[in-house]
Amino acid sequence: MRTTAVVLALLMMMTGATSQAGVIEYQHMGKSSDVIMHFAAGVYDGETIPVGEIIVNLDGVPTSVFCVDATGDMLGSAFNTSTVTPGAFAGAAGEKAAYLLDKHFTNGISDVDAAGLQIAIWEVLHESSNTLEVDYNSASAGDFSIENVGSDDVIASADAYLADLVNFAPVSGVEVQKVEEGSDRQDVMLVPEPMSVALLGIGGLWLGRRRS
């Protein structure tokens, strides 16, 4: 079954829905921390993986990105994209993910906070219960949770981001770019900082494993 990879892009100089195309190519991990993921619908359930900032080339420009889809596999090398809105991508959850990225991602983000932001994004997109709880050892943990390897700092960071959703308001200028090529590929969310830095979720890039 073919899955569509999706990039959510905050483009400061663009307005409205467009059909603009681009090319994304994975480079390496940026600011990140190792966690153990627990998500039965995901490729990496029970595995230790680095999560957080990922560096890609976006139309040839080095760009910081974060993962938004824990159900698929790695994005791969180079993929063409087209643009839709965050609401079309994931409804209200997509709008909340866009809010988190727009408000909290900065160029100087730490390893812990980059991982925490990644986990918070996954939680709002993948959790079906009414409780946003990312700690696997909590009785309130639902569909998606993590264990932090060696520290609870990532969990605390994710919880802080999720708590800020009480201040949620839709953000403008955020767009989704669908990567149409490939099967079993992860949906990805991209939010450029002014001019050069983007946030894109490519959950499986770090391991490079294909789902059978």
Summarize pLDDT for 50-67 with one digit per residue, the tens: 899 888 787 888 877 777
Which pTM was predicted?
A: 0.81
Range with the poorest average pLDDT among 6-10, 70-74, 76-80, 128-132: 6-10
Place of tokens 């980059």: 114
* pLDDT at residue 209 is higher than 80: no
Among residues 192, 204, 202, which one has the least CA distance to residue 62? 192
Tell me how far apart the alpha carbons of residues 34 and 38 are, in angstroms, rounded to a whole number.
Answer: 13
Q: Does residue 206 lie within any of the structural domains?
A: no
User: CA-based angle 20:55:39, to the nearest 5?
Assistant: 95
Whether residue 33 contacts residue 194, with contact meaning beta carbons closer than 8 Å, is answered with no
pLDDT at residue 37, as a whole number = 92
Q: Does residue 196 lie within any of the structural domains?
A: no
**CA dihedral for 88, 89, 95, 101, sign (positive or negative):** negative
Tell me how far apart the alpha carbons of residues 79 and 26 are, in angstroms, rounded to a whole number.
Answer: 9
Domain count, the chain: 1
Q: Does residue 202 lie within any of the structural domains?
A: no
Q: What is the pLDDT of residues 104-145, one digit of tens each?
A: 988 889 999 999 999 999 999 999 887 899 999 998 999 999
Residue 11 domain boundaries: 5-189
DSSP type of residue 97: H
Q: Which residues contact 160 (CB under 8 A, 6 or more apart)?
A: 116
Q: Does residue 195 lie within any of the structural domains?
A: no
Q: Does residue 37 lie within any of the structural domains?
A: yes
- pLDDT top residue among 171 and 193: 171
